[in-house]
Amino acid sequence: MHKQFLQMLLCLTGLAFGQNAFAQQPEYIVLEHDINQVEDLPQRIRIGNDLFVQDGGEQYLVQTDGLLDWPIKEVIAVDDLDGDGWNDAIIASHSGGASCCGTKYWLVSKREDQFFTVHTHEDFYGDSLEVINRDGERSLSVTVSDRNQAVSLSLFRFEDGVLQHLSTSQNAGLRPALLEVNAFELEQDRKPVSRSVDLDDDKTLDSLDCSYWERWGTLMCEVQSSVHGSVKTGLGCDRIGVLISSTNGLNDLVCNRFTVLRFDGDEYNQIN
């Protein structure tokens, strides 16, 4: 009777903590390529670093054709994402080239002894990844940002050896403006535009003047105020709009979806 009770307790404990909860955890590390040592090793990247797992006293290289295309790797999260008791890892990888591009993410998992898998998805790519722990269930959130403002959000879950893509959604929110100029309006003919509006509340029309900044594909705008003269906005924005609120005698502006620009008496400054 006593033995049966112990067995039941062990079984319940196993269920509660995952079957491998007490096993030694795999450790995920990246190691730089040492050109003198591994120049002739076909599975090692030639310039950059490779992913290794330290497990059961041994060290294993984890390599795929996909990983070989991304020379710079970093372990950004270690967590038991599928609840099997063994820690999995999220790897962020970069092309190592120009700073134009986002981060490709990879999920690396120990499935059995000496059995490791690598998972990714076309939307497992962006600017930041967060592990969300809700009621003990882990999900992964990948955000793609445009000029520091989140424009798309992809959710994933790792379950039964599958990286499940749950959704990818676009940000539909933005601060409403009284009037606005968008970069796409100027993209075609590249001609400056001027919108008339009274920004300093003296009943005389002022203007919001924008030109197309070819290098970044954004707008460069300034305000011509009947009270304050020429006022620079400083930032390159995809969208610039006039808000209903005002600061120091000039209407606030919105840059892109959410960034508010306020007049400091001399020029417009970003406040968030």
Q: Site for Ca ion (CB under 5 A): which residue of 226, 246, 247, 270?
A: 226
| Per-residue binder mask for Ca ion (CB under 5 A), 70-89, x = binder | ----------x-x-x-x-x-
Q: Which of 123, 127, 198, 267 binds Ca ion (CB under 5 A)?
A: 198
How many residues of this chain interact with Ca ion, rule: CB under 5 A? 11
Q: How far is the CB of 201 from Ca ion (least distance, A)?
A: 7
Which positions ≥6 away from 234 have C-beta within 8 Å? 261, 267, 268, 269, 270
Q: Is 206 in the site for Ca ion (CB under 5 A)?
A: yes
Residue 55 in the binding site for Ca ion (CB under 5 A): no
Q: Which is nearer to Ca ion, 84 or 180 (CB)?
A: 84
Among 114, 204, 245, 248, contact with Ca ion (rule: CB under 5 A): 204
Nearer to Ca ion, 55 or 84 (CB): 84
Nearer Cβ to Ca ion (17/216):
17
Both structure tokens of 92: 């962020």
Smallest distance, Ca ion to C-beta of residue 263, A = 13
Place of tokens 């509660």: 16
Rounded least distance, CB 20 to Ca ion, Å:
8
Only segment of 127-135, 165-173, 192-200, 255-263 that touches Ca ion (CB under 5 A) = 192-200
Q: Which is nearer to Ca ion, 129 or 144 (CB)?
A: 129
Q: Is 59 in the site for Ca ion (CB under 5 A)?
A: no
Shortest Cβ contact with Ca ion: which residue?
A: 226
Minimum distance from residue 116 beta carbon to Ca ion (Å) = 11
Q: Which residues bind Ca ion (CB under 5 A)?
A: 80, 82, 84, 86, 88, 198, 200, 202, 204, 206, 226
